[in-house]
């Protein structure tokens, strides 16, 4: 079923095709339990995924694992067009045991986060995407089985293409900034501490102003946004797999108050912590 809000956990499939004629940056990072396939048809984008930044060009597929922190940003004053698909594991697994045995979700676990498509696979994959958009974005209720068939075909072709590029010298589209990389790694280790712009700047012997400037330029995130992304990701794990109270989880991951934690969590995931725990808790 196609819905307009990708964070709703009881909707297993979402597709959207958008053309932006003006500069567009996502307002905030987000993460969700669905897998995401992003295909750029026009323009160039900078894509922040977990602790890496990638350059995405037309004809590139971006494969985003479930629960990965991600956000896109513009590359100059350039219009862009893209197709994005979000889907749950169940959407495929419930469809066919044979497909389940193919372990198609393994495509999201490789080093090939950004895939520049060859001419042959570009034609094949664009044709499948076009059909998915046509059916999935229809105002009438889409036929679930047809969407499952097309999505399965798309995943199979991506898996096949990854096997092809594994045999070749693959050039990563990752954007590297050594100083920012070190800062990212430091924050990913110490996110539960009381980190501030000043304390991080002192750690790396630079001014807070310069730290803020280079970090924003490289990632299109503020320092606070990135620290919050790490804290929310850990909070999701605790909500799913522990019996801790929400106030205790907020404190454990580094938030100063439960209210701030709840507001940020809902902004990022689309669900309040209590709702998230209800849907995903294994306890």
The C-alpha atoms of residue 14 and residue 12 are separated, in whole angstroms, by 7
The C-alpha atoms of residue 211 and residue 179 are separated, in whole angstroms, by 10
Q: Residue 273 CB: number of other CB atoms within 10 A?
A: 23
**Per-residue pLDDT for 261 more than 50?**
yes
Least confident of 66-80, 199-213, 229-243: 66-80
Q: What pairs with residue 13 in β-bridges?
A: 2, 87
pLDDT at 120: 94
Domains of the chain and CATH, by start: 13-165 (2.60.120.280), 176-280 (1.10.10.60)
List alpha helices for the chain, DSSP H: 89-93, 97-101, 119-136, 144-165, 178-190, 197-203, 208-219, 223-241, 246-253, 258-269, 273-280
The model's pTM is: 0.83
Local confidence band at 1 (pLDDT 50, 70, 90 cut-offs): very low
The C-alpha atoms of residue 98 and residue 25 are separated, in whole angstroms, by 40
Local confidence band at 41 (pLDDT 50, 70, 90 cut-offs): very high
pLDDT at 6: 47
pLDDT at 2: 44
Residues 6+ away with beta carbon under 8 Å from 27: none
Average pLDDT taken over every residue of the chain:
88
**Segment 54-87, tens digit of pLDDT:** 999 999 999 999 999 898 888 777 788 999 999 9
**Segment 153-203, tens digit of pLDDT:** 999 999 999 998 887 766 667 777 788 889 999 999 999 998 999 999 999
More confident residue, 211 or 136: 211
């Amino acid at each position: 079923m196609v819905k307009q809000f990708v964070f709703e956990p009881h909707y297993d499939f979402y597709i959207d095709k958008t053309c932006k004629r003006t500069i567009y940056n996502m307002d905030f990072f987000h993460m969700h339990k669905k897998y995401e396939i992003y295909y750029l048809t026009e323009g160039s984008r900078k894509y922040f995924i977990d602790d890496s930044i990638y350059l995405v060009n037309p004809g590139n597929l971006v494969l985003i694992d479930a629960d990965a922190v991600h956000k896109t940003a513009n590359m100059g004053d350039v219009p862009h067009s893209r197709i994005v698909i979000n889907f749950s594991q169940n959407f495929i697994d419930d469809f066919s045991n044979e497909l389940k045995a193919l372990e198609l979700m393994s495509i999201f676990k490789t080093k090939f986060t950004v895939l520049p498509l060859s001419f042959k696979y570009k034609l094949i994959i664009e044709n499948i995407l076009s059909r998915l958009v046509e059916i999935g974005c229809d105002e009438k209720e889409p036929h679930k089985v047809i969407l499952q068939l097309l999505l399965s075909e798309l995943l199979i072709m991506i898996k096949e293409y990854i096997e092809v590029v594994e045999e070749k010298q693959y050039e990563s589209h990752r954007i590297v900034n050594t100083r920012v990389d070190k800062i990212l790694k430091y924050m990913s280790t110490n996110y539960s501490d009381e980190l501030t712009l000043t304390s991080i700047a002192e750690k790396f012997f630079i001014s807070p102003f310069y730290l803020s400037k280079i970090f924003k330029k490289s990632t299109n995130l503020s320092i606070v946004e990135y620290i919050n992304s790490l804290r929310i990701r850990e909070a999701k794990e605790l909500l799913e797999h522990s019996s801790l109270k929400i106030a205790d989880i907020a404190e454990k991951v580094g938030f100063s108050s439960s209210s701030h934690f709840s507001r940020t969590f809902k902004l990022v995931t689309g669900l309040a912590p209590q709702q998230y725990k209800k849907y995903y808790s294994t306890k």
